[in-house]
A and B are shown apart, each in its own frame.
Chain A
Amino acid sequence: MPGADKEADLTERIEAFLADLKRGGCGTGPIRGSGETARETTALLRKVTAQARWSSAGDLMEIIRKEGRRMTAAQPSETTVGNMVLRVLKIIREEYARSRGSSEETDQQESLHKLLTSGGLSEENFRQHFVHLKANVIEAINELLTELEGTTDNIAMQALEHIHSNEVIMTVGRSRTVEAFLKDAARKRKFHVIVAECAPFCQGHEMATNLSKASIETTVIADAAIFAVMSRVNKVIIGTQTVLANGGLRAVNGTHTVALAARHHSTPLIVCAPMFKLSPQVLYGQFLRPHGLVFALTCTILSKVNVHCPVFDYVPPELITLFISNIGGNAPSYIYRLMSELYHPEDHDL
């Protein structure tokens, strides 16, 4: 029966995706970049919308939430998965509101104004059935996918405004977004890049190789030399794994050091992060993952020594100068506003 086949196919794809996610955080960093993860997640959610059985928006939201919870449980540190689920939930709410013809879609947030003027406890339970809801939601998800595909290019397009000739730029580790950003600027400007290697995985080496292939003068430095070299740097441009709701970052280990060194020398710190990395979480502390690294230590003290290698760092918003995202440049204090446009407050804890 074609229906059962499709469902089995869907479950298979979800399982494969979950397995990929679980494997992803095991050593040399995730198997795929976060952009790809975001696209895969959205494509999967589109498939779920198309193939799962649902009759009202409320059912669809429940199904998506369930799948979302499974996906985030597989790899909690990969926040883009959760973010995409929240985006899709917001899309469903908006399409539902549009189908109902209500003008609620603009002001979904709790505000003092709403408290004072609302005429009744609005129990929006999304039970109404609309014929075209499915098509509308799928179309909106397609728009989201197009947006996701264009993010790196949108960010790279802004490079010429921020990078000037003969500048010395510092970056940390490897970020595909920053790589595209610098390569785009290199088409018209000549500048120098210093890459901190970011031990122990030394992804900075790969970044330096890629940049030099694009004819950018690159220098690799050890992490310990960051502070020493900072006085000669004009700008620091970094990528990040997640942007938190208060404007802080969860970025690769070592970023906080770079940020503090930049603050000390009053060097601007620019973060290139597409909008899908914006997460409604605020507190970061609990995601420190002691990583199971195997050092080539042959001495007997190995049994008495604890090896902790956290993967991520928290950078507070005060150390960041500018966020460059696919929708333009923003100050860290504005991030909360962007968040309210992307996600609905009731969805914040899946």
Chain B
Amino acid sequence: MAPPRYDSAISAASCSGSSSSSSSSCAAGKLTPPQEIDGLLADAGYKVRSSDLRQVAQRLERLETVMVNAPSEISQLATDAVHYNPSDIASWVDSLLSELSQPPLPLPSDLSDFSDLNYVDSLVGPAINPTVVNNEWTDLHAPQQQQTVPQLLTVVTAMEEDSGIRLVHMLMTCAEAVQRGDFPLAGSLIDEMQGLLTRVNTGCGIGKVAKHFIEALRRRVFTPQGLCSAAGGGAGSTNEYEFLYHHFYEACPYLKFAHFTANQAILEAFDGHDCVHVIDFNLMHGLQWPALIQALALRPGGPPLLRLTGIGPPSSDGRDSLREIGLRLNELARSVNVQFAFRGVAASRLEDVKPWMLQVSPKEAVAVNSIMQLHRLLGAPPSRNSPIEVVLAWIRSLNPKIVTVVEQEANHNQPEFLNRFTESLYYYSTMFDSLEACPLQPEKAVAEVYIQKEICNILCCEGAARLERHEPLAKWRTRLGEAGFRPLHLGSNAFKQASMLLTLFSAAGYCVEENEGCLTLGWHSRPLIAASAWEALPLPPLPDGSDPIRIINQNVL
């Protein structure tokens, strides 16, 4: 297998720099453990060799101890000291330490052999120069000395951080092994990582992320491909998927943001129309629509006649769940005096839906709403009749007033496993981070299962079974533009509403950003979900004057 092309994997379309720089850290992809720059720190602007991480951490600790204990000597640092570029942490710390008359620690032998776990226990350092002032430091790092109890807290933290960093590096090495097809090595790495997991806190932070990714790798390596059940696929799992989806809806604001933003755009598009028809590509429990119904009920001039067509998978247990949701929405609409009609279209795949099933009438304003559904159509190779082309063509043939598209803002559809692994590691780390603040149990735990299923689908499944093929906003822009759609700017009302909604979610890390008329919701400036709105460009008339829309409808039948 040819070595992976990482430069092609760094998508120029990536909306934030963090995800692309992670790929650049795995430049070589060789068998030996990497000597290159650590990717995680590179994101923060610091260049540290992966093999030097522990030593640099020790030196930083030492620097802090020295600075704390000798404050009077520090002023000279501000005046006549020469400092190296702080992005190169190793030499920067050394220069500071030498300024404070502490000799730098010599680098120990190469500790990048990942099969050796013993170093975590002993924390044996090199011989210390006797001019070291701080006794604590000497106690901690004198050779062959057991950790004493007062330093135990520091030792445990250092060990955990160490283990966390090691876990990430081992995850990357294991993913490289999987990509190469070296399953024995991958398997042994997985076993080691599971052992290492016992030393870290898997309830939060890097331990939790690692736990989920180790599980995904384990399934990939040890489970035959035939057992790959996609998230939401399989007849028996529809209810389970709805359950997970509902808890994900409750636990974090991503779906609420999607619903409210799409509703705002649809509401504005329907202004002035008396007959409106909404087509929902994934009805689930219909949680998006009460708010739209209420907003239509209160719009100046009175509510229109609202038709809703909900597409969803067929129910497994004989219940007609689509119809039940329709009845409930109908009851709500009647309570607020909105004329309402519902139609359910059961289809296990979106590409099985034909436009005639939707029964769109020419005199109504149509809105097509797709919340995280379009990416599931990207499995086949691009061609004239690939599922995504077909679906976009019939959407256009309906002549919709507005198409609302919400997609994960991530690049998880790359053909090479390692690229997908790296991208999803960063993406889902951020998402798990944002989930930490959720106070609701069991919603939070079930939401994690939902996310776990997505991760497993991205990493364990291939071909038609892999449905979670997330692509970044820029790619969707290109794709929708080529399919004959023009972007509509989501207005300031949508932005205001999204910001207000986020203020209600008490965790302060969420951020709404505007991106060329689209809105993205992210955690600490990493966008995770993007909402956009589109309208169909009018089709040019055919040379013989016939109506192109009618022809398209016939073709897709």
Is B a genuine binding partner of A?
no
